[in-house]
């Protein structure tokens, strides 16, 4: 996506109402950043923000077997949804964990090409940086064709991108992810300090390819390094 919207998230996060601190999750030693349990099905989730109102059409809470999750369907749009994460201490819990699954990759997308930079699934950890330039961000992508481990940059280097997955999910089911966002932030930004996370964000976009992208997100949590992975959500 050529017009990365993280620039607007600095003002977005500053304007958002301060949310309560994360509640303990079922997984020992992890805290829930967002599980969508209290979010009404069919609505844009409370506590999340978008830069443009059209973004609320992209992200809606869905239900599967009693499990709530965020379903994203982008038709030619490229708008993030973001949520503050008050109380997340990266020193104690440097691992960001979540579940996701792609449903439709944007046609012809390739995150390495500015003119085709769309993704079915993207997850961000945001750190406040500048009200004008926007936050710093580490972005994790599920790409249709870019190899896992590929490192990319965007937004004049303020967004550091790591491709985690490539191609369709096995059987179309959920995949659990666990990434050490503290290590990635320090490595990609060459910064030994421990930042204070401002929030998390998701992006399912199809504006550059003018096509359709779709995917699901669930069970965002912050964990210590030693915590074991929990089962995928919503199977």
Q: What is the pLDDT of residues 202-226, one digit of tens each?
A: 999 999 999 999 999 999 999 999 7
pTM equals 0.86
Is residue 178 over pLDDT 70? yes
Residue whose entry in the numeric block shows the structure tokens 């349990």 = 37
Is residue 3 over pLDDT 80? no
- Which structural domain, as residue segments, surrounds residue 129? 5-223
Is 67 part of any domain? yes
Is residue 44 over pLDDT 90? yes
Q: pLDDT over 90 for what percent of the chain?
A: 79
Is 15 part of any domain? yes
Is 228 part of any domain? no
- Report the pLDDT value the prediction gives residue 27, as an integer from 0 to 100: 52
Is 231 part of any domain? no
34-54 average pLDDT score: 96
Q: Are 221 and 30 a contacting pair, CB within 8 Å?
A: yes
Is 121 part of any domain? yes
Is 230 part of any domain? no
Is 232 part of any domain? no
**pLDDT digits 0-9 by tens, 133-176:** 789 999 999 999 999 999 999 999 999 999 999 999 888 899 99
- What CATH number does residue 29 fall under? 2.60.120.260
90-96 average pLDDT score: 97
Query: How many domains does the chain fold into?
Result: 1
- Which of left, alpha, beta for 102 (phi over 0: left; psi -120 to 50: alpha)? beta
- Report the pLDDT value the prediction gives residue 130, as an integer from 0 to 100: 75
CA distances from 122 to 1, 15, 225 (A): 11, 23, 22
**pLDDT digits 0-9 by tens, 97-120:** 999 999 999 999 999 999 999 999
Dist CA 153 CA 159 (whole Å) = 6
């Amino acid at each position: 996506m050529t017009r990365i919207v993280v620039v607007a998230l600095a003002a977005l996060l500053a304007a958002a109402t301060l949310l309560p601190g994360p509640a303990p999750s079922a997984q020992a030693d992890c805290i829930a950043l967002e599980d969508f349990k209290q979010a009404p099905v069919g609505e844009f989730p409370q506590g999340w923000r978008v830069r443009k109102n059209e973004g609320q059409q992209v992200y809606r809470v869905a239900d599967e077997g009693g499990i709530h999750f965020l379903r994203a369907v982008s038709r030619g749009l490229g708008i993030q949804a973001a949520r503050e994460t008050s109380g997340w201490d990266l020193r104690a819990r440097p691992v960001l964990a979540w579940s996701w699954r792609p449903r439709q990759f944007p046609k012809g997308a390739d995150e390495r090409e500015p003119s085709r930079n769309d993704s079915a699934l993207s997850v961000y950890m945001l750190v406040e940086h500048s009200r004008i330039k926007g936050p710093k961000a580490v972005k994790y992508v599920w790409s249709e064709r870019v190899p896992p481990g590929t490192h990319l940059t965007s937004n004049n280097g303020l967004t550091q991108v790591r491709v985690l997955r490539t191609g369709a999910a096995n059987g179309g089911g959920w995949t659990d992810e666990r990434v050490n966002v503290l290590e990635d932030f320090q490595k990609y930004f060459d910064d030994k300090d421990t930042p204070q996370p401002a929030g998390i964000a998701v992006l399912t976009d199809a504006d550059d390819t003018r096509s359709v992208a779709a995917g699901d997100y669930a069970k965002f949590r912050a964990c210590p390094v030693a915590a074991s992975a929990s089962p995928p959500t919503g199977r």
